[in-house]
Amino acid sequence: MAKIFEDTPEIRGALRKVKDRVFWSEANSQILTKLFKARSNITDEYVKERFGVDIQNLSEMLTSGKLKPQELEAKGLKTIFHLHPPKGGFRGSLKNPEGRGGEVGYRRESFKQTIERMI
């Protein structure tokens, strides 16, 4: 499962608490666009009706901070996405952090590849 959160100190603190059970990173607009198109039932027309932009521009607004995830939820868009296990499996252990050959924790570089295999 993937969830879009606003980048705040409170969220960062919560992620540090669960770092041994999840992996996370900042999402770019390309990943968000793929998530919206592949793992939600919204269309460009629906997004244009609610926000006045297409899905690509909505993703860019989210990553730049012009739009907050709470605003999506207020207008009826979900910020939770159910994902498949990654095609080809996880590259490392789910019991170790990324720096020690695992998959959990803050993922800088390998986040995009893993998420794309899960979409």
Is 102 in contact with 96 (CB distance < 8 Å)? yes
- Write out pLDDT tens, residues 40-86: 888 889 999 999 999 999 999 999 989 999 999 998 888 999 988 88
Distance CA 115, CA 119 (A): 6
Give the phi and the psi of residue 17 in degrees, each rounded to 5.
-70, -35
Instruction: Report helix angle 55-64 to 29-39, nearest 10.
Output: 130
pTM confidence score = 0.82
- Write out pLDDT tens, residues 4-38: 999 999 999 999 899 888 988 888 899 999 999 99
Please say whether the dihedral angle defined by the alpha carbons of residues 115, 77, 53 and 6, taken in this order, is positive or negative: negative
Is 15 in contact with 100 (CB distance < 8 Å)? no
